[in-house]
Chain A
């Protein structure tokens, strides 16, 4: 009975212990389960944040969302993101949940280790604070909200080159943070750091792009001004240079009149002179003075034609272009018709492939085609029948014309200068002032295009020029 009683008592105690143990382990289970649930929730939040960041958008709303998400997930009173100033002496409150709106973007904290936020910058590990008010590591007096913050965790938001700043959470009462809480905060900080780096790169790119754009604009404006100046310059000198020419030529003419009078009197005067003086006077009046006047006159005429050429070029550059739809096949055919006599004489075979329609200035197109085709005919080789081919290729915005001949060709050394004013290449057996291709280039450029030449001496030349398919659109774009 005694024994039984003792046994039973022990048995009972054992059972009680087991019940207590079971109860304890059930509580532990529940606690572990809660912990697991919490961790799963935090991980879900991290995943959500990751997706949110990938979705992009403005940076500031993202920071606000992060502080709200962290506050809700960790159930804290305050969450703040502080950005390190480029001078690295201050942390500025960039976003905050639980903070007065007036402080956001305004409030700053010294970025040195005397404050817990500053200290965080210098630490690679999260800083955990049980009670900020009594923590011996920091002197928070005079700092932001120092009287309201009790427990907290702060982590560095690191960047590739330098830290973006600090992310921290706080409570207004004492609170213990779990390892999971700290991992969570660190994970958010990592995502934030990567995003900030990405944004920094984007901003730098954007800035570089803007600067480039600005420089292009400035250069374009400079070029336009220089072009304008050049055109005005050509215009002015062609006028102002003409005035003295009128005088030179005019007074040379007056000298000529006077010379006529002298000549008329010469026969009366000569018999009164000795032989030597007679010879001198005759030479002067019949040879030297007329020769000098001839040189003056021919030089002035040459100069006048040069001035006129410059003037014409400047006018081509200034003339208002009229956009109209032009069938280039018709236009080139008309040009060929006007050259029919020469084509027949040189027994030239002309191949005109179908050419597209363009919207361009008709007079310019006539001048371009007229010049290039006349050149092709003028510089054929007499030793073989001429062949000229005209064709075109189109792209969405441009049309490229090719005019090929089997003429005498242009030496490689001469090619770069053929479009310059007053420059002529090769044998000078065809009259011309060396302006035709300069006019052509000016007109092609005004149509938003370019011209170049491929040539081989004694084989032939090909002139290739591209212009905008629609001049009206081109002019609109230039505005």
Chain B
């Protein structure tokens, strides 16, 4: 197997991920807001764009020198700028993941997976949601499972994150037939069926940005 050379996940890697994420969310803001219109309150794209652009500016001014530090700082800025449910949920995801990484200067795909797992557990705990509730977890949980499988198969960081991105995108698409049980879409009952969840969609974009960052680093 011609595994690509592994790029370490260090502070610089996650700062590049933040930059890519802010760019992607800026580009996709209108689509996220459109997804949020029929089953939410038409603001998911605007809020995510505002939060990630603010985090890029703030964290870029005084960049932490560990990957854990970068994630924790981004999480804190999201909590302070996004509002709504997305701010605390994405903020908690990244803060928990950052804390899990501790002071390590660089980690591999396995440690990154463990950190993301801790972050996703934090999201589930805070929001009280489970798989199938038509939330961001429906993109994140399949992404973690895909990382497990790819790691077990000895995949490189890029391969592991590519698998995660693919699973997250499929998971987001698979929310369309689901009936929402959490968040504002849940008020619609059966009428939430037939719409892709905006939170799962933004989660898939953020995981895809991780894969893109890894691919560029190893190119």
Do A and B interact?
no
